A and B are shown apart, each in its own frame.
Chain A
Amino acid sequence: MPQMIIANRLVDGRVVFLAPDERWDTAIDHGSVVDDDSAAQRLLEIAKQAVARCLVIDPTLIQVKVDNGKVRPVEIREVIRAFGPTVRTDMDDAEVAIAGIAPEGDRRAEGAARVNRNAKE
Chain B
Amino acid sequence: MYRYDEFDAKFVAERAAQFRRQVKRRLAGELNEDQFRPLRLMNGLYLQLHAYMLRVNVPYGTMSSNQMRTFAHVARKYDKGFAHFTTRQNVQYHWIKLEEAPDAIKDLGEAEITSIQSSGNCVRNITSDQYAGCAKDELADPRVYCELLRQYSFLHPEFSYLPRKFKIAITGSPHDRAAVAVHDIGLRMHENEHGEMGFEVLVGGGLGRTPYIGQTIRKWLAPEHILTYVEAILRVYNMLGRRDNIHKARIKIIVNQMGIDKYRELVDKEFELTKNGQLKVPEEEVERIKAYFAPPSYEKLEDITPQLDARRKADRAFDRWMRGNVVEHKVPGYAIVNVSLKAPGRVPGDITADNLDALADLADRHSFGEIRVSHRQNLVLVDVKQSELENLWRELYALELATPNLGLLSDIICCPGLDYCALANARAIPIAQDISRAFNDIDELQRIGHFTINISGCMNACGHHHVGHIGILGVDKRGEEFFQLTLGGSSDEKATLGDRLGPGLPQAEVPGAIRKIVDTYLERSEPGERFIDTYRRVGIEPFKASVYGAEAAH
Q: In the bound complex, how far is the Cα of B312 from the Cα of A11, in angstroms? A: 54
In the bound complex, residues from chain B placing their C-beta under 8 Å from that of A81 are: 49-50
Contacting B at CB under 8 A, from A54-101, are: 54, 57-58, 74-77, 80-81, 84-88, 91-92, 101
Q: List the B side residues contacting A101 at CB < 8 Å.
A: 481
A22 to B402, CA, bound (A): 52
Residues from chain B with a CB closer than 8 A to the CB of A111 are 508
Number of interface residues of A (CB under 8 A): 32
Interchain CA distance A9-B405 in the complex, whole Å? 41
Chain A residue nearest to B80 in the complex (CB): A91
List B residues 20-47 near A (Cβ within 8 Å): 26-29, 33, 47
Q: Which positions 53-103 of chain B face chain A at CB distance < 8 Å?
A: 80, 96-100
Is B255 part of the binding interface, using a Cβ–Cβ cutoff of 8 Å?
Answer: no
Q: Which of B27, B49, B508 contacts A108 (CB 8 A)?
A: B508
Q: Which of B80, B97, B430 contacts A87 (CB 8 A)?
A: B430
The interface size of chain B toward A, counting residues with CB under 8 Å, comes to 36
Contact A13 B52 (CB under 8 A): yes
* Chain A residues within 8 Å of B50, by CB: 13-15, 81, 84-85, 92
Q: Which residue of B lies closest to A91 (CB)?
A: B80
B367 interfacial contact with A, CB 8 Å? no
Separation of A5 and B258 alpha carbons in the complex (Å): 47
Q: A75 near B97 (CB under 8 angstroms)?
A: no
Q: Which residues of B contact A (CB under 8 A)?
A: 26-29, 33, 47-52, 80, 96-100, 345-347, 418-420, 426-427, 429-430, 433-434, 437, 476, 479-481, 507-508
CB of A80 within 8 A of CB of B418, answer yes
Closest to A15 in B: B50
User: Is the C-beta of A32 less than 8 angstroms from some C-beta in chain B?
Assistant: no
Separation of A112 and B434 alpha carbons in the complex (Å) = 9
Cross-interface CB contact of A53 among B29, B97, B419, cutoff 8 Å: B29
Q: How far is the CA of A3 from the CA of B479 in the complex (A)?
A: 17
- Inter-chain contact A80/B419, CB cutoff 8 Å: yes
- Residues from chain B with Cβ under 8 Å of A46 in the complex: none
Using Cβ atoms and an 8 Å threshold, which residues of chain B touch A104? none
| Distance of A5 from chain B, by nearest CB (Å) | 16
- Within 8 Å by CB of B427, from A14, A75, A86, A91, lies A86
Residue from A10, A75, A84, A91 in contact with B98 in the complex, judged by beta carbons closer than 8 Å: A10
Q: Enumerate chain A residues within 8 angstroms of B96, measured Cβ to Cβ.
A: 13
Q: Which residues from A are CB-within-8-Å of B100? A: 12
Q: Which residues of A contact B420 (CB under 8 A)?
A: 85
Q: Which residue of A lies closest to B434 (CB)?
A: A115
How far, in whole Å, are A57 and B430 apart by their CA atoms in the complex? 29
Q: Which of A1-24 contact B (CB under 8 A)?
A: 8, 10-15
Q: What is the CB-to-nearest-CB distance from B82 to chain A, in angstroms, rounded to a whole number? A: 9
List the 10 closest pairs (A to B, CB-CB), nearest first: A85-B419, A12-B97, A13-B51, A13-B52, A54-B29, A87-B429, A81-B49, A119-B345, A108-B508, A11-B99
List the A side residues contacting B346 at CB < 8 Å. 119
- The answer to whether the Cβ of A40 comes within 8 Å of any Cβ in the partner chain is no
Interchain CA distance A118-B440 in the complex, whole Å: 15
In the assembled complex, 27 residue pairs joining A and B whose CB atoms fall closer than 8 Å, in A order, are A11-B27, A12-B51, A12-B99, A13-B52, A13-B98, A51-B33, A53-B29, A54-B27, A54-B29, A57-B33, A74-B479, A75-B479, A76-B418, A76-B426, A76-B476, A77-B49, A77-B418, A80-B418, A86-B419, A86-B430, A91-B80, A101-B481, A108-B508, A115-B433, A115-B434, A118-B345, A119-B433
Give the residue name and chain of the B residue nearest to A58 (CB): B47
Nearest-neighbour CB distance to chain A for B280, whole angstroms, equals: 46
Residues on the B chain within 8 Å of A118, using CB = 345
The answer for the CA separation of A86 and B431 in the assembled complex, in Å, is 12
Measured CA separation A79–B51 after assembly (Å): 15
Partner of A76, one of B33, B97, B99, B479: B479
- Chain B residues with Cβ below 8 Å from A77 are 49, 418
Q: Which residue of chain A is the closest to B49 with respect to CB atoms?
A: A81
Inter-subunit contact A80/B99 (CB<8 Å): no
Closest chain B residue to A106 by CB distance?
B508
Contact B479 A115 (CB under 8 A): no
- Extra contacts, 13 of them, besides A13-B47, A87-B347, A88-B347 (Cβ < 8 A), are A8-B47, A12-B51, A12-B100, A13-B96, A57-B33, A74-B479, A75-B479, A84-B49, A84-B419, A86-B419, A87-B427, A87-B433, A112-B430
CA gap between A64 and B4 in the complex, in Å:
52
With A and B bound together, what is the CA distance between A77 and B429 in angstroms?
Answer: 14
Using Cβ atoms and an 8 Å threshold, which residues of chain B touch A54? 26-29
With both chains docked as a complex, state the minimum distance between the C-beta of A99 and any C-beta of chain B, in angstroms: 13
A57→B52 CA distance, assembly (Å):
12
